[in-house]
Amino acid sequence: MSNSEARQQALEVRDAFALEPTSLITYRSNGKVIALGDDAMLEQCDELPATVDINRISCVGSQIQITGHLGAYAVSVTDQHGNSVAHQGDAILDLNQNPLLAREMLPPGYFHAPPANWEPMGLAQELESLSGEFEKPKYFDYDPSICAHGVNGKIACNQCIDACPAEAIHSLGERIEVDPNLCQGGGSCSLVCPSGAIRYLYPNLRDNGKRLRDMLETYRQHGGADPIVLFHADSYSAEHYLQAYDNLLPLPVEELASVGMELCLSALAYGALQVVLVVDAEVPQSSLENLRRQLDWLHALVSGLGLGSAYVTLCRDDEALPLVDNDNIVAPAIHDMPLQKRNAIYQALDHLVVNLKPPADQVALPDSAPFGDVMIDAGKCTLCMACVGACPGNALQDGSNREVPEVFFVESNCLQCGACVQTCPEDAVTLQPRLLFDREIRNRARALNRDTPFACIVCGKPFAPTSVINKMQEKLKDHHMFGTQRALDRLKMCDDCRVADVVQDPEAMGGQFDPLKGFRQ
């Protein structure tokens, strides 16, 4: 059977795959439109039929603030004297040259019709259809328990907030919140999230992975060779690529930015010769920038595996696909795709490592990559464990329950978010982006720093790392509260012995305490 015939069988399997349903977001609109523009453009609204319920508001000399979405828009108009008037409606008709909302993805129910593009007939049809109830999928899922956004009052990761082209994500202190009414499934949030705390829900990663695996398996079973997986947005037609490459297997996704390292590596693990992401004109610029950064990480990774960067590539929709050597197809993996993206990345990586046998045991990654090592300067570290308390991925762990003060590190858990760097009071922590190919070493806890426990000079009980006691002694030796040797020695005592010594020290209590009678009046 030819590649074309094998592909036809594979695409039938792809199209028959049943996606796991998601919950729906509902909009209710009465069709009331708020038109915003200068007087000349507002007059042109006379060309719209009377069936369009429209409220005209002049923007000349006023400050305009717009919030909301289809069915629940609010517009505040503030004049030159500071007087404000609030308007409510179901949709916005923005007649200004540049949209008043500067977002790459405008909210549902927001229509931008600049003077050069004024076309009343088509616009009237869209506005007349606004009355009623509308539904869309809920595109995301969020797990705050593994979110690296905020730790101990400090912001460690803002990547999803910065990446969202719809401005649907906001900070709530140590977690984020996604407005489901503004979210339009752009996918950038899941692409850049280092932990997988926010993930694409429709289709979810597990479904996309199974659909990808089944498509490639069917293609091979029917005699197809050298399969190229081409990811593209649902709205894009890959017909000219299908005509040019008989071994090309297109996989449409809701948004191209939902395709990250996990799907690209899994495609190679499932037996694809090459992975291509097609960028068309509809992909937002911010999403394209995030995709390019992701590809930088992938190119470093596949190079470490012994492949060239052309094996995973971004391609403009008018470009030919780069040529690759067909000697590097691996034995296809059969595992199911997990829901969590880091698990999916490691699962695919482990399969590729076994098959490709890379020459080195690790690969250096570009800055900001979400995998890597943590290093602690033992000369600065006091084992205060602030870094452990701040680590959102549980990569840094307190080993003090082993009776020796220690900081342990599990590299597979590290997000390279920098929370430990921000939190360390001694500036003792640094990061090194990389990826270890050896799964056992990557998952093993190893000590980054350890110290001998300091024994209380009175009772002999270990109570703190020796380095902490030495540093406290050095920093406080000239403080007026530790002006005597007895006071300074209290730093070498456990809590119980320290309290007992304080109450027995006339100088410490200022002569105001008698251990037999209590405080003197």
Instruction: Check pLDDT > 60 for residue 471.
Output: yes
pLDDT tier, 516 (very low <50, low <70, confident <90, very high otherwise)? very low
pTM of the prediction? 0.85
Of 125-134, 180-189, 412-421, 480-489, the range with the lowest mean pLDDT is: 480-489
Average pLDDT of span 77-92:
94
β-pairing verdict for 32-37 and 91-94: parallel
Q: Taking a C-beta distance cutoff of 8 angstroms, is the pair 47, 35 a contact?
A: no
Q: Is the peptide bond before 370 cis (omega within 30 degrees of 0)?
A: no
Average pLDDT of span 79-102:
94
**What is the structure's pLDDT at 467?**
78
Instruction: Check pLDDT > 60 for residue 515.
Output: no
**What is the structure's pLDDT at 449?**
92
Per-residue pLDDT of 333-378, as tens digits, reads 999 999 999 999 999 999 999 999 999 999 999 999 999 999 999 9
State which amino acid sits at residue 100: L
Q: Which residues are CB-neighbours of 362 under 8 A, at least 6 positions away?
A: 304, 434, 435, 436, 437
- CATH code of the domain made up of 138-200: 3.30.70.20
Q: Where is pLDDT greater, at 403 or 369? A: 369
Instruction: Check pLDDT > 90 for residue 464.
Output: no
Average pLDDT of span 390-407:
85
**What is the structure's pLDDT at 513?**
44
**What is the structure's pLDDT at 403?**
66
Please, how many CA atoms are within 13 Å of residue 168, restricted to the half-sphere of its CB? 25
- Helix, strand, coil shares, percent, the chain, to 5: 35, 25, 40
**What is the structure's pLDDT at 511?**
45
pLDDT tier, 399 (very low <50, low <70, confident <90, very high otherwise)? confident
What does the buried/exposed string (b/e) look like for 362-398 if buried means 16 or more CB atoms within 10 Å of the residue's CB? bbebeebbbbbbbebeeeebbbbbbbbebbbbebbbe
The tokens for 162 are 């910065």
> Where would I find the beta strands (DSSP E) of 338-458?
362-364, 372-376, 396-398, 406-410, 429-436, 445-450, 453-455
Question: Of all residues in the chain, what percent carry a pLDDT higher than 90?
Answer: 78
The tokens for 203 are 């289709």
Instruction: Check pLDDT > 70 for residue 302.
Output: yes
The domain locations on the chain are: 3-18+203-359, 25-136, 138-200, 372-450, 453-519
**What is the structure's pLDDT at 452?**
79
Instruction: Check pLDDT > 80 for residue 518.
Output: no
Average pLDDT of span 367-393:
93
Distance CA 188, CA 11 (A): 27
Where do the H-state alpha helices sit in 82-181?
120-128, 159-163
The tokens for 521 are 């009046």
Of 48-52, 61-65, 289-293, 515-519, the range with the lowest mean pLDDT is: 515-519
Average pLDDT of span 109-129:
93
Secondary structure (H, E, C), 253-274? ECCHHHCCHHHHHHHHHCCCCE
**What is the structure's pLDDT at 371?**
98
**What is the structure's pLDDT at 475?**
81
pLDDT tier, 93 (very low <50, low <70, confident <90, very high otherwise)? very high
Q: Taking all residues of the chain, what is their mean pLDDT, rounded to a whole number?
A: 92
Of 1-5, 353-357, 404-408, 452-456, the range with the lowest mean pLDDT is: 452-456
**What is the structure's pLDDT at 85?**
95
- CATH code of the domain made up of 372-450: 3.30.70.3270
pLDDT tier, 520 (very low <50, low <70, confident <90, very high otherwise)? very low
Of 84-98, 101-115, 445-459, 475-489, the range with the lowest mean pLDDT is: 475-489
Per-residue pLDDT of 230-279, as tens digits, reads 999 998 999 999 999 999 999 999 899 999 999 999 999 999 999 999 99
Average pLDDT of span 281-287:
92
**What is the structure's pLDDT at 106?**
94
Per-residue pLDDT of 168-213, as tens digits, reads 999 998 999 999 999 999 999 999 999 999 999 988 999 999 999 9
